[in-house]
Amino acid sequence: MSARAPLPILVTIPISHYCEKARWALDRAGVAYEERRHLPALHRVAVRRAGGKLTAPVLVCPEGVVVRESADIVVWADARAAAGARMIPADPEVAREARALADDYDERLGPATRLWVYHEMFDYPELVHGSMTAGVPAWQRHAFRVGNKAIAFAVAKVLTVNDENAVAAQQTFRAIFAAVDQRLADGREYLVGDAFSIADLTFAALAAPLIAPPEYGVRLPTVDELPPGMVDVVREHRETRAGRHALAMFATERTRPAAPAPVA
């Protein structure tokens, strides 16, 4: 009887939208992996041990390769995907356009939605308790119960979460949504070319805090559960063309995992 081959390990912060992007790409490619989940701030030890720098996700492949950026994890997964599940378009010109859009969402949309959500959720730890702690080791679940304020302060300091930056973040994501709205105005089904690509995946994953998709890899608060400062903004963004596109990508393209349950 042969032993099961070791699986790639994905080190994550379960609620993180960059980590959702990596899970989505691996799930879509049908790659089985083991997810090791950690609380923000506490993730740094695991990320460093895995050979990463400071941020999650990090993918550690059985052959020793370490992939430290979510965009590179998408490329790694894409190389293992069946023809109908590819995320990098075959045509080099289309691929260039899709990757340029994805890079822009990585640089501007992801940080903006994250900062805004941390700002709005700061006083509501009980709302994110489930998504923050889903699948993390038991001692971290306990740490969140007793130390969620300290963790929130640490994250707020690293990300410079304050009122002024929350306003700027909202301007950034509104501008990106407006540009995506415009791109989709001709009725196209996908952001680039005629198939789902890294551009749709990256936009939808990093827009998730503004659209609360039910298919997200961990359970997010529903729209009706959101705090007062968020609910109207989320309702508004779900109704935009860009928001509807992101919701549709989650509904139709967010393949469920081939992976075993996360290891606690």
Ligand X SMILES: N[C@@H](CCC(=O)N[C@@H](CS)C(=O)NCC(=O)O)C(=O)O
Q: Which of residues 171-230 bind ligand X (CB under 6 A)?
A: none
Task: Report, in Å, the least distance between residue 258 CB and ligand X.
Answer: 22
Residue type, 13: I
The C-alpha atoms of residue 32 and residue 47 are separated, in whole angstroms, by: 20
Task: Report, in Å, the least distance between residue 21 CB and ligand X.
Answer: 7
Q: Mask: binding to ligand X, 143-162, rule CB under 6 A, as x and -?
A: ---------------x----
Considering the rule CB under 6 A, would residue 16 count as an interface residue with ligand X?
yes
- Candidate residues 31, 42, 56, 246; the one interacting with ligand X per rule CB under 6 A: 56
Number of residues near ligand X (by CB under 6 A): 15
Considering the rule CB under 6 A, would residue 18 count as an interface residue with ligand X?
yes
| 3-state secondary structure (DSSP) of residue 34 | strand
Q: State the DSSP code for 194.
A: T
Nearer to ligand X, 125 or 244 (CB): 125
Stretches 54-62, 145-153, 190-198, 221-229: which one binds ligand X (CB under 6 A)?
54-62
Stretches 10-18, 81-89, 189-197, 218-226: which one binds ligand X (CB under 6 A)?
10-18
The C-alpha atoms of residue 258 and residue 231 are separated, in whole angstroms, by: 33
Contact 39, 92 (CB under 8 A): no
Q: State the DSSP code for 257.
A: P
Contact 12, 37 (CB under 8 A): yes
Q: Mask: binding to ligand X, 88-117, rule CB under 6 A, as x and -?
A: ------------------x-------x---
| 3-state secondary structure (DSSP) of residue 10 | strand
Could you tell me if residue 73 is left (phi over 0), alpha (psi between -120 and 50 degrees) or otherwise beta?
alpha
Nearer to ligand X, 30 or 111 (CB): 111
| 3-state secondary structure (DSSP) of residue 9 | strand
Structure tokens at 246: 């992101």
Contact 37, 13 (CB under 8 A): yes
Task: Report, in Å, the least distance between residue 153 CB and ligand X.
Answer: 13
Residues at the site binding ligand X, with contacts judged by CB under 6 A: 13, 16, 18, 40, 44, 54-57, 69-71, 106, 114, 158
